[in-house]
Chains A and B, each alone.
Chain A
Amino acid sequence: MTAGFFSLGRRRAKIQETITAYLFILPWIIGFLIFIGGPIVASFALSFFKWKVIAPPEFRGLANYVAMFSGDDLFRKSLGITFRFVLYSVSLSQVLSLSLAMLLNQRVLGLGIWRTIFYLPAVVSGVAGSVLWAWLYQPEWGIINNLLEFVGLEGRNWLWNKELVLGALIVKSLWNVGVPMVIYMAALQGLPQDLYEAADLDNAGEATKFWNITLPLISPVIFFNVVMGVIGQIQTFAEPYVMTNGGPDNETLFLGLHLYQNAFHFLKMGYASAMAWVMFLIIFALTLFQFGLASRWVYYEGQGA
């Protein structure tokens, strides 16, 4: 009797919580249905058509998917390039942005100015930043070659060299660590000081404090930055589009660029849509994998641990 009463109450509380929760996320559901859902369904449907965009679509069944895996060498090549780029770019930028955030967390003089300097590149993202870096890498007028010549080294044609070009784009991506850095800074500021005070009383070294306190506490934020870094960098487009146009010899033909060229330069929108869905599945699987892995290393204060 009593047990039944409690479970009834618990169930009612549960129902109430569900209703409240759905009310909280209602804006997103409405927004999704109106603005995103339709285009997503449309692009999925179009992946089974030949669509020149400027002419009506023609149904082609699975032809686009078959062509992607059997006839498009560039698709495979762009997959490899994109993965290599994401691997280096995301991991190196986590190291760099977290290091910067920690350096800036050291109560240095002129903090505001330091922080602004490191954040600065984030405001020159996308196209403008790519134009700037094409200008920096320019073999004759670029500052990079001129600096190298100044110290007696020979400059290179960075963006026209098959071995160097991907590295050049990775370096450029590291310059844009402002966003993860700001997120790390906010996370570090939110850390409870009492844990550090307790560690100080135990005479713990800086390294110990970093590995045992800082890292676990900000692991949800590291997780966010890595997941978002992967999702964002896989879709890299502006840099190769502006700086290299995919060259030389397609060595910077990122998936995003291959997709864009197919969609708008070749007007093969159906094929591009099919590619986008394969790309989506890859990113989705990677993200699921990261969520699965997360339970092993991400520590949620809020979940009681």
Chain B
Amino acid sequence: MSSTPSNPGSPQILLFGNRFRRGLLHMACVYAALTLLALIFLLPFYWMLNTSLKESTRVFQLPPDWYPNPVRFSNYIEAFSESSADIKNEVPFIRYVWNTALISVNGTLASMFASSLIAYAFARMEFPGKRAMFLGVISTLMVPFTVLMVPQFILWRYLDWLDTFLPLTVPYWFGSAWNIFLLRQFFLTIPREFDESARLDGATHWVIFTRLILPLSKPALAAIGVLAFVYFWNDFLGPLIILSKPKNFTLTMFLVNFSVAFIRTTPWHLYMAAALAIISPCLLLFFFSQRAFIKGITITDFKR
């Protein structure tokens, strides 16, 4: 194939692009694919939003309304004021937000910091028992939680940790298998020549880890942080099993209690409003933090 330089203004370049510019046709395809997929992905949310803004008597109309008429924004207030997980009404709603935030922020920080150290050892060091130990780490993810639940519950009771946040916060500071594995895989994509030359210069593992590997892994760490936050924010079974007193409840527990708090009929419009409101912090976090982990690191900079 001869690479005759083409006139940048030629129709061919405009449509298909060259190695420096993507053509119109190419970008049109990209946008078309994105739009179609986005519509499919958003459809469930539209239905949720639609339901959340309906008048209670119009929720079960057949055929259903394609858009709420009239639009009831007050559902969003009602959802949080009329349902309560606490019959004594002593727990302000903000308490659930605070509890959830506490567990989520702790979990995020723990996930980002604790696991990278362990992952580094598995990615960059040689020691006897490494393979077995690594399989051991991943193995902990393979035992179904269902059968660990009761023995663990007995353990929390023995430690006197039941109905406290300790079981939901402390263990994550000892590294979690998912994060260790993910970070190890990321560390493995970093060329080994970097740390080898650093080693020759006499750098210790600690220095290589903190000065070289961690800065290079920012996108991965940021991704882990966001994923962890969302995981802890939405965690349902963990808090549900551990926590009992309404003052310790999290937002998902508030949501789960929704159906039982309203004895009469399930208020789907309010449920959807509450669900949308509760997930919104995760969306905002993702939207504003994505720059942090999407900003590419150009490894070429380090090579020179």
Contacts and interface: CB of A to CB of B under 8 A. Distances in A.
Is chain B in direct contact with chain A in the complex (CB below 8 A)? yes
Interface of A: 14, 17-18, 20-22, 24-25, 27-28, 30-32, 34-36, 38-40, 42-43, 46, 53, 100, 103-104, 106-108, 111-128, 131-133, 135-136, 140-143, 146, 149, 175, 179, 182-183, 185-187, 189-194, 200, 203, 217-218, 220-221, 223-224, 227-228, 231-232, 235, 237, 256, 259-260, 263-264, 269, 272-273, 276-277, 279-280, 283-284, 287-288, 291, 300-304
Contact of B47 (A36, A143, A193, A287): A143
Contacts of A224: 181-182, 185
Contact of B174 (A35, A115, A272, A288): A35
A14 B126 CA distance: 8
Given A112-B291, A231-B141, 9 more contacts: A25-B117, A108-B27, A111-B294, A124-B234, A190-B299, A223-B185, A263-B149, A284-B139, A302-B187
Contacts, number: 293
B142 A119 contact: no
Contacts of B234: 123-126, 128
Contact of B148 (A24, A39, A120, A260): A39
Contact of B226 (A21, A182, A221): A182
A116 B189 contact: no
A143 B226 CA distance: 30
B142 A287 contact: yes
Given A228-B178, A259-B147, A128 B275 contact: yes
B203 interface: no
Interface in B42-73: 42-48, 51, 60, 62-64
B148 A43 contact: yes
B236 A123 contact: no
Contacts of B64: 141, 143, 146
A192 B300 contact: yes
A240 to B, nearest CB: 13
A42 B151 contact: yes
A143 B148 contact: no
10 contacts: A21-B126, A24-B118, A27-B118, A35-B152, A42-B154, A127-B236, A186-B186, A186-B222, A276-B147, A277-B143
Contact of A132 (B1, B44, B141, B286): B44
A272 B192 CA distance: 45
Contacts of A140: 62
Contacts of B146: 237, 256, 259-260, 263-264, 272, 276
Interface in B107-160: 114, 117-118, 120-128, 130, 133, 135-152, 154-155
A203 B171 CA distance: 52
B287 A112 contact: yes
Interface in B220-244: 220, 222-223, 226-227, 230, 233-234, 236
Interface of B: 1, 3, 19, 22, 27, 30-31, 33-34, 37-38, 41-48, 51, 60, 62-64, 114, 117-118, 120-128, 130, 133, 135-152, 154-155, 171, 173-175, 178, 180-182, 185-192, 204-205, 216, 219-220, 222-223, 226-227, 230, 233-234, 236, 252, 255-256, 268, 271, 275, 279, 282-283, 286-287, 290-291, 293-300, 303
B189 A301 contact: yes
A112 to B, nearest CB: 6
B125 A124 contact: no
Contacts of B123: 302
A124 B185 CA distance: 27
The 7 closest A-B pairs by CB, nearest first: A31-B174, A24-B121, A189-B296, A39-B151, A42-B151, A21-B127, A123-B282
B294 A185 contact: yes
Contact of B37 (A118, A223, A272, A276): A118
B187 to A, nearest CB: 7
B121 A203 contact: no
A285 to B, nearest CB: 10
A121 B298 CA distance: 30
A261 B216 CA distance: 46
Q: Which one of A35, A284, A301 has the highest number of Cβ atoms from chain B below 10 Å of its Cβ?
A: A35
A270 to B, nearest CB: 10
Contacts of B226: 182
Given A31-B171, A38-B155, A128-B234, A120 B283 contact: yes
Contacts of A218: 189
Contacts of A103: 30, 33-34, 37
A124 B279 contact: yes
Q: Which one of A17, A128, A185 has the highest number of Cβ atoms from chain B below 10 Å of its Cβ?
A: A128
Contacts of A27: 114, 117-118, 173-175
Contacts of A126: 234, 236
A141 B147 contact: no
A119 B288 CA distance: 13
B43 A220 contact: no
B275 to A, nearest CB: 6
